[in-house]
Amino acid sequence: MTLLVGLTGGIGSGKSAAANAFAALGAPVVDTDVIAHELTAPDGAAIAPLRAAFGADALTPAGALDRVAMRRRVFADPAARAQLEAILHPLIRAESARRLASAEFAYAILVVPLLIESGAYRARVDRVAVVDCPEEIQIARTMARSALTREEVLAIMAAQASRAARLATADDVIENVGALDALQARVAQLHTAYLQLSGGRS
């Protein structure tokens, strides 16, 4: 049985960099955020139910989900958030399970931004690896890459588990406060540990 590691962290923590480092070492990586983007791209499996639920205004002219507009909508309206999640989450869970089922390696990485907040995903994984950095670094990184205001980033962070809650749940912590090679070195340590925990199957 493949060891399943849930990789998570707050916005701007560096989950993608860590996931890329695991993938570079040969580990299968299934990213629920990537799946969500595929589902909400033009002609994605979620587009028809999203249009039915939220109207054509929720889509871009190209037919994808307007993520910026939807983000603002769900932060202002908890009912809209619940409706969005009811559409997307079952589709994401089903597709991530399908991809993990085909993983042929000693362990697999399941990237879930809201793993701590989601009991369903927490119950699926054998270990939780948290990518961690101070909150000010999260804010700066997110503002730099996403053109969001500080207030918008803080609102997103407020809707996520706290840094303390993530660390309390972690089996393994990947600090990401400086150079990329330091993160990659920590991932290499965990790669070895996960191979040992899984019995070395690959």
Residues 6 or more apart whose CB falls under 8 angstroms from that of 93 comprise: 120, 121
pLDDT on residue 200 = 52
49 φ/ψ angles, rounded to the nearest 5 degrees: -65, -30
Separation between Cα atoms, residue 144 and residue 128, nearest integer Å: 28
Confidence of residue 202 (pLDDT cuts 50, 70, 90): very low
Burial of 171 (0-12, 13-18, 19+ CB in 10 A): middle
| Per-residue model confidence as pLDDT tens digits over 173-195 | 999 998 999 999 999 999 999 99
| Per-residue model confidence as pLDDT tens digits over 39-58 | 999 999 999 999 999 999 99
Superfamily (CATH H level) for 1-28+105-197? P-loop containing nucleotide triphosphate hydrolases (3.40.50.300)
Sheet holding 3-8, edge to edge: 29-31, 107-111, 3-8, 127-132, 172-175
Buried b (16+ CB within 10 A) or exposed e, 136-170: ebbbebbeeeeebeeebbeebbeebbebeebeeeb
Q: Is 105 left (phi over 0), alpha (psi -120 to 50) or beta?
A: beta
| Per-residue model confidence as pLDDT tens digits over 73-114 | 988 898 999 999 999 999 999 999 999 999 889 999 999 998
Closest Cα to residue 154, out of 61, 75, 60?
75
For 119, the token pair is: 């009991």
Q: Is 155 left (phi over 0), alpha (psi -120 to 50) or beta?
A: alpha
Separation between Cα atoms, residue 187 and residue 192, nearest integer Å: 9
Write down the mean pLDDT value for the chain: 93
| Per-residue model confidence as pLDDT tens digits over 138-152 | 999 999 988 889 998
pLDDT on residue 121 = 84
Domain ranges of the chain: 1-28+105-197, 34-102
Confidence of residue 1 (pLDDT cuts 50, 70, 90): low
Provide the 3-class DSSP secondary structure of residue 64.
coil
Instruction: Report whether 166 contacts 113 (CB < 8 A).
Output: no
